[in-house]
Structure 1
Amino acid sequence: MFTEPLCREAGRISTELIETGYCVLRGAVASGAIAAIDHDLGPHFAAAPFESLDPEMHPAQRIGRLLVRAPATQQLVRHRIILKAVEDILVHGSDTIQLNLAEGVARHPCERPGIPFRDQLMWRGADNRFEYLVNVIWPLTPSCAHNGAVHVWPGSHGSHDLEPAIRSMGIPVEMEPGDALLFLGSTLHNAGANSSDHINRSITIGYCLGWLKPTENQWLAYPPEVARNFAPELSALVGYRRHFAYLGNFEGRCPSGLLDKHWAAEFDLGEVPHFETTPIPAARRLLS
């Protein structure tokens, strides 16, 4: 059940998101937990390709499938206060929410600043009726103005996302490992230039409306044999549940049935598989 302090803190965060478009939660998790995640992801970052064929032009790397590459990231995705605040924001546009992506980003020295962007525009979501997305940035290394910290434009969200021109300067959000930056899909933001001698590593965890196509293909990243080991609320977030009555169904049933350990992973396509579905609550009741 949600406790009163948890609801109060989540309410403070969601209120700040609505008012300014972003919010920083200091000390959201222990810095040691983040250091352990960074250690687990180290070999994966080392093997990841650069986004550009010419690293000097765009020296950044991205890795996905974090929930299996570093299982401790599951605690970040399921962070109770953050998830409650995200649900409070997104519940106005959907009966369920889902994980949009969980990726690691390494920004190397000499990386140029990114183009200011609103993430929800990839779904052409600019009707201002509700938010489509909430992103959470977790720094793996200290993030500051000169090493590629995310810049946000306060007040650029909501109805302001239709304004054709940028009317203010973005501000760098400086954080330490353990802090978390939340911002809305309609909030203008970019990655700052990395003019330091060190790599800036971070994790982006995004949550979006349950009826949108997620940025990271969750069912390829976490197929049934992987998701079967997740907690029910986590498997629901990565797509193993229906939205309303039929959206995202499998053989006319809730896909959560695929996670039943008693049901065979393969079946004869000539026969309809039979399995008991496990009810997954709606997003706004995910942790209650």
Structure 2
Amino acid sequence: MTGTRLAADLAALDRDGFVIVPDALPRAWIRALDRELADAFAATPYARGDFYGHRTKRFGRLLTRADRVQDLVLCPHILALAEAVLGTACERIQLNVAQAIAIHPGERAQFPHADQDMWGGVKGTHEFLLNVMWPLTTFTANNGATRLYPGTHRRPLQALDDLPAPVVAACQPGAAICFLGSTVHGGGANITTRPRRGVVIGYSLGWLKPYENPFLAYPPAVARQFPRPLTELLGYVQHRPNLGNFEGQCPSLLLEDTVPAALSAVDALRPDQASMLAAFARHDA
């Protein structure tokens, strides 16, 4: 992907709250991933609840289920989008979710919602989240393709009647459906005879509590098998200043073969904080 493409996709995200990136990965590669996840889809029971759905299957821990998921999470163009959208409000971004979803025949349309509402606090000054839905099967208007409501990332809604007409994210495997955490969306109804399958990879601000607990999904014995850029997205690194530490040190030390029994706390400050602290130390000397 080129810098021109990145700029165009960022402009679409800013204007509409979403963008569909065609051919982000080869279609055959995505089909192979679908086959790798087939057993997990078959074994997973239907969700329970009017939000998650009654004819929908969901499962996480995708990085332990198929090696190809690493390439979804680390897709350079998608990471560049996430960094551009989120990077001004945090020192580093994190993986918020890696979840597979299958909407089966007979499922109703999902309640329109904005994913950022999982967190409290005042919204509107910056984005909290960028989600990327990767279709594993063709997404159509009839089989439950994600519905996206353009402009809702900029316009607070008081009632469902205020929603604009949705855009149906109809596309082929290999495309990446990117939408902001502030954008109202929802899965569509599946009125066909076959499931609609996809994978959602989400990136959020590094100082937020993620949707999927990474240290339970990928404990150190599992995470040490992953490349460093991936373990950092999973939280095995500090978000300065000092956030997410282990005994006052970077949690990446838990990925080493041996961990000292006793550790000394070590500052992990942003450069501006370290500079202020150095000035204070000189003044106090």
TM range, smaller chain: 0.7 to 0.9
CA–CA distance in 2 between the matches of 1:163 and 1:7?
A: 38
Q: Name the structure 1 match of 2:156.
A: 161
- Candidates 195, 200, 212, aligned match of 1:199: 195
* Contact map agreement 2:248 2:264 (CA 8 A) in 1: no
Describe the SS at the equivalent of 1:161. Answer: coil
Task: Please list the CA deviations of residues 22-45 of structure 1 after superposition, one character each: whole Å capped at 9, or x if unmatched.
Answer: 000001001111111111110011
Contact 2:13 / 2:180 at 8 angstroms: preserved in 1? yes
Given that residues 242 and 249 in structure 1 are in contact (C-alpha distance below 8 angstroms), is that contact kept between their aligned partners in structure 2? yes
Secondary structure at the residue paired with 1:182?
Answer: strand
Correspondence 1:222-237 to 2 at 5 A: 222-237=218-233
| Count of aligned residue pairs for this structure pair | 266
Match of 2:138 among 138, 142, 150: 142
Residue equivalent to 1:75 = 71
Are 1:178 and 2:174 counterparts? yes
The gaps in structure 1 that reach 5 residues or longer are 277-288
Task: Give the fraction of aligned pairs with identical amino acids, expressed as a percent.
Answer: 41
- Residue 97 of structure 2 is matched in structure 1 by 101
Encode CA deviations 1:64-122: one digit per residue, 9 max, x unaligned: 11111011011010000110011000012111110000000011001000010000011
Task: Assess, with a 3 A threshold, how the Cα gap between structure 1 residues 247 and 184 changes in structure 2: closer, same or farther.
Answer: same
Preserved contact between residue 134 and residue 207 of structure 1 (Cα < 8 Å)? yes
Task: Give the match for residue 114 of structure 1.
Answer: 110
Q: Distance in 2 between matches of 1:18 and 1:94?
A: 19
**Residue type matched to 1:110 in 2?**
G
Offset of 1:8 from its aligned partner?
Answer: 3.1
TM-score, length-scaled by structure 1: 0.87
Distance, in Å, in 2 between the alignment partners of 1:135 and 1:22 is 9
User: What is the rounded CA distance, in whole Å, between the counterparts of 1:201 and 1:275 in structure 2?
Assistant: 46
Q: TM-score, normalised by structure 2?
A: 0.88
Map 1:212-227 onto structure 2 (within 5 A): 212-227=208-223
Residue identity matched to 1:94: C
Structure 2 vs 1, CA of residues 43 and 274 (structure 1 numbering), >3 Å: closer, same or farther? farther
Q: Distance in 2 between matches of 1:44 and 1:108?
A: 15
1:31 to 27, 40, 64: 27
Which residue does the alignment assign to 2:262? 272
- d(CA) in 1 for partners of 2:8, 2:121: 25
SS in 1 for 2:204: strand
Unaligned runs of 5+ in 2: 267-285
Q: Indicate the SS of the match to 1:105.
A: strand
What amino acid does structure 2 have at the position aligned with 1:217?
N
| Amino acid across the alignment from 2:43 | A
1:190 to 2:180 alignment: no
Note if contact 1:126-1:161 (Cα within 8 Å) is conserved in structure 2.
Answer: no
CA distance in 1, matches of 2:159, 2:69: 37
**Pairing 1:259–2:255 present:** yes
CA distance 1:99–1:53, shift in 2 (3 Å): closer
* Offset of residue 257 of structure 1: 1.4
* Letter of the 2:241 counterpart: A
The DSSP-based 3-state class of the residue aligned with 1:23 is: strand
**C-alpha RMSD over aligned residues:** 2.3
| Partner residue in 1 for 2:239 | 243
Equivalent position of 1:210 in the other structure: 206
